[in-house]
Structure 1
């Protein structure tokens, strides 16, 4: 990488180098296990001119999202998060029967189904053929497209301008951040609103959340860098909320420049927090790599000692972040014989790079392991409750991020 994808600067400094790994959602079928598996460098850098953290665009969105292994509806807490957002936003913006809502990267309709239930006209713009089909089967109107200025304009011409455009957990997933932002502006009405949820670089750094660095995440935002990214497409940030989702996220509220007005107080407050954390100077990034290395050592030490003591450890979940962690730590089936996942799409497949089998969740109760390593640590409250049954045989849960913790669970 020689130039920042947002401002074009060549002033890029290393934050953390995680080596080379396969794309995190490229789960393997059994017949692929003897075939070569491509791996790509995973090196996070930050631009010291606009402070956008980014990795090189070594894979394309088409490689990842034309068929996708992630279905949002398998997370109960995420569906509830979406329901609450729709209810609160309908009240905040006065959305009703005459309104039009578009969600970009709408996945399997996890959010827009709540819009449909309210009788509000809506449309999903989802690039993945398989998850878009699931959304349509659930009654959510969905087109299969990647967002660009041209597709945004085409959707607007056919369906009209959107009073609200939602882009949750996608703003990090596109290498052409300027073109994507122009696509958002093309979709939204001239007096409309854009709501974006994206992981906050501040919590990623502070909480050692390095496993959320993977090839389909091309950039990592602070409010400061998000303001500049939005401006590239004619949008102004007017408000921001700090959310607990994904270990700490931003909800960015933006409007077309012409109607935006001055940003609210919360924007200034978060900018001040970021500045105090050193994220607008290199000092805020220099110790991150050392803390990442400690996470790796601690997890490997735990797994090796458990194996030597004859204790069994299995995984729970097969999220993209888990594959960054497993590959960086060099975990193989000798230390983690399998993981389980609620998504049947992944059953019978293997994790990329580490080739760990993915099984249905009921395998845990059948095998009664000593420890369950929870890979989607961001769903900690939900999964502590879901996995409370491991208490029956004295099993314990292990969370690797932000630091290794072993949890006793109770019914």
Structure 2
């Protein structure tokens, strides 16, 4: 019996079953292509008691993050997003030379380098050995650890309490949500702040963003569910911002319960939107599976028709979300010859499950394909500009989500 990892309830309802897929960041080297490849069920359920959407913890964070293929700094827009956040947070919280900022899951230092540039003392806590090393090479002090209550307490004892703890795109990545939240509370000063960015379940459901469901995302938050999760570790939600990142995210501003006070009107407003969308009752989830099936049919129909007409289709990007999409749709190299990625770590490797080659981005201009299927659709504005050169030979861009969209770009 699957139990809710937040409240322990057995009242779990199916949202969408995507079959079985390999872990989305387990890119294959050439010498692995003839070896067995593990795949795990990918079935999203929602707890009808606390309304936390979640998948079973079939893989451990250690399996995913000890060596990680995702480097945040390869996304130009994400680095700019981080720079803006640091500037705004410093102004909002009055962070000066005497402040201390900790980021959990700090990746390659993409955010904390902006903190360090301001002369503010900082520390990253990053479990992946390879990306943590990249952060240290960039001058960002980084501890190679997973966050737990003990880790948080140890960092606090050595470095002092943090005025601001940042946890961007990690709150979904930990199966022990209660222990992780207690770790955040151990890090933050008794009058400090915690800022968490995580994808918003509301936009995931409304915009068919099912490819963001994968094994390293253990849970999916509404603001209502996030309030309960934060409370489990002694934190209270004070404010929320709606962000366009990752197709629609929420930035949660929390403080220790004792000093939090009343939440802002923005919290009340987002809670009302979630309730109106039916996300605190089953009615908000019942049509999602059928809409996911239509995304799959439409994309396969396009790829099959292109192949039959002798038109070439290649991919752009090799993100985790893309691997959920490729595996769910059963797309192989006969329909998508290859994909490209800016991250050299992925070059010469193959996508998990679907075995599609990953090449450097320059291959697109060399081959001049008829269509480029954009897998990181959440970076649409950035990539339409980046890929404007496909106009030179009459190529077009294809976005699969929220619905199939074929875009003629201008140079």
TM range (shorter): over 0.9
Tell me the distance in 2 between the aligned counterparts of 1:150 and 1:143: 14
> Is the aligned partner of 1:193 residue 2:193?
yes
Tell me the distance in 2 between the aligned counterparts of 1:333 and 1:390: 21
Tell me the distance in 2 between the aligned counterparts of 1:94 and 1:136: 26
TM-score, normalising length from structure 2? Answer: 1.00
Aligned positions, number: 411
Tell me the distance in 2 between the aligned counterparts of 1:354 and 1:241: 37
Tell me the distance in 2 between the aligned counterparts of 1:257 and 1:226: 14
**Structure 1 unpaired stretches of 5+:** none
Query: 1:71, CA displacement in angstroms?
Result: 0.1
C-alpha distance after superposition, 1:85-123 (max 9, x if no partner): 000000000001000000000000000000000000000
SS in 2 for 1:307: helix
SS in 2 for 1:122: strand
SS in 1 for 2:19: strand
Which residue pairs with 1:181 in the alignment? 181
Which residue pairs with 2:317 in the alignment? 317
Query: 1:151, CA displacement in angstroms?
Result: 0.3
Tell me the distance in 1 between the aligned counterparts of 2:272 and 2:98: 39
Tell me the distance in 2 between the aligned counterparts of 1:167 and 1:294: 34
Query: 1:186, CA displacement in angstroms?
Result: 0.1
SS in 1 for 2:289: helix
SS in 1 for 2:205: helix
C-alpha distance after superposition, 1:129-185 (max 9, x if no partner): 000000000000000000000000000000000000000000000000000000000
C-alpha distance after superposition, 1:291-320 (max 9, x if no partner): 000000000000000000000000000000
TM-score, normalising length from structure 1? Answer: 1.00
Query: 1:30, CA displacement in angstroms?
Result: 0.2
C-alpha distance after superposition, 1:197-248 (max 9, x if no partner): 0000000000000000000000000000000000000000000000000000
Tell me the distance in 2 between the aligned counterparts of 1:8 and 1:407: 46
C-alpha distance after superposition, 1:63-83 (max 9, x if no partner): 000000000000000000000
SS in 2 for 1:174: coil
> Is the aligned partner of 1:167 residue 2:163?
no
> Is the aligned partner of 1:111 residue 2:111?
yes
Query: 1:266, CA displacement in angstroms?
Result: 0.4
SS in 1 for 2:9: coil
SS in 1 for 2:365: helix
The root-mean-square deviation of aligned C-alpha atoms, in Å, is 0.3
Query: 1:2, CA displacement in angstroms?
Result: 1.7
**Structure 2 unpaired stretches of 5+:** none
Tell me the distance in 2 between the aligned counterparts of 1:356 and 1:144: 32
Tell me the distance in 1 between the aligned counterparts of 2:333 and 2:3: 39
